[in-house]
């Protein structure tokens, strides 16, 4: 299966881009969604989290208390590493499972952390959705009704824009209207269909 990894900073337009490609019949595998699936009740990763961090990280209904867990790992580096050692392999397995099940001509793996860890190793090509910081901030504020400082704080901990662009095979410039995003994606979609065909041999 030919896999395009798609990433970008907060509010850059990852969802807008994957919505377009999904409409064109492409399977979209979402790492954010997978990270929630693997800690659902009954999943081995949730049991491992409770073994390591105790019952306080569960809500009364048996689902993960994300806030309690966040507070534990926020100030404790070893705890954060332990949590990642549980969740990252589970997320990787879930992503591979979903990619293997795709019947589409190619698959897009969308992840805000594609380039930070090993998820990029699952991909054949990297597509970065890029927008200038002021556009990221304005669109995120409009979408989430959050204060500007909160968006700026998230941007500070995300990978630098130039570093992200430098790792891309393809970059979509998303500072303009949606139809320009779609025009660029349509061209890439045609290119990816050809690359996927070659890949399949
Ligand atoms: P996050 O990482 O925060 O999940 P994202 O990269 O998925 O963000 P989107 O949700 O796709 O970003 O885009 C952010 C907001 O900007 C959304 O409300 C989306 O509809 C809007 N948006 C994206 N691209 C454009 C565009 N070209 N023109 C106008 N609005 C846009």
Distance (Å) from CA 14 to ligand 1 centroid: 7
Structure confidence by residue, pLDDT tens digits, 116-170: 989 999 999 999 999 999 999 999 999 999 999 999 999 999 999 999 999 999 9
Q: Residue 26 gets which letter from DSSP?
A: -
Q: Which of 39, 33, 61 is nearest to 52 (CA)?
A: 39
Predicted TM-score (pTM) of this structure: 0.95
Q: Which of 6, 10, 11 to mutate to test the pocket of ligand 1 (most atoms within 8 A of CB)?
A: 11
ipTM reported for the complex surpasses 0.85: yes
pLDDT tens-digit series, residues 99-111:
999 999 999 999 9
pLDDT at 201 over 90: no
Number of Cα atoms under 13 Å in the Cβ half of residue 87: 23
User: For 52-108, what is each residue's pLDDT tens digit?
Assistant: 999 999 999 999 999 999 999 988 999 999 999 999 999 999 999 999 999 999 999
Pick the atom of ligand 1 nearest to 144's CA. 18
What proportion of the chain, given as a percentage, has pLDDT over 90? 98
Residue 180 pLDDT more than 90? yes
Residue nearest (by alpha carbon) to ligand 1 atom 24: 13
Residue 198 CA to residue 97 CA, distance in Å, equals 23
Angle at 26 between CA 44 and CA 10, to 5 degrees: 70
What residue's CA is closest to ligand 1, atom 15?
A: 139
């Amino acid at each position: 299966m030919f896999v395009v990894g798609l990433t970008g900073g907060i509010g850059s337009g990852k969802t807008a881009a994957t919505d377009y490609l999904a409409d064109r019949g492409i399977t979209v595998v979402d790492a954010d969604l997978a990270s929630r699936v693997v800690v659902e009740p009954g999943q081995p990763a949730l049991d491992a989290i409770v073994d390591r961090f105790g019952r306080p990280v569960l809500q009364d209904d048996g689902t993960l208390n994300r806030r309690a867990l966040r507070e534990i790992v926020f100030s404790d580096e070893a705890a954060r590493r332990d949590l990642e050692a549980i969740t990252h392999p589970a997320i990787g397995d879930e992503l591979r499972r979903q990619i293997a099940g795709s019947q589409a001509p190619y698959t897009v793996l969308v992840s805000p952390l594609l380039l930070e860890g090993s998820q990029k190793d699952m991909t054949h090509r990297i597509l970065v959705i890029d927008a200038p910081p002021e556009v990221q901030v304005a669109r995120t504020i409009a979408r989430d009704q959050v204060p500007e400082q909160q968006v700026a704080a998230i941007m500070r901990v995300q990978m630098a824009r130039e570093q992200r662009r430098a790792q891309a095979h393809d970059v979509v410039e998303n500072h303009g209207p949606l139809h320009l995003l779609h025009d660029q994606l349509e061209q890439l979609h045609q290119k990816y269909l050809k690359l996927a065909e070659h890949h399949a041999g």
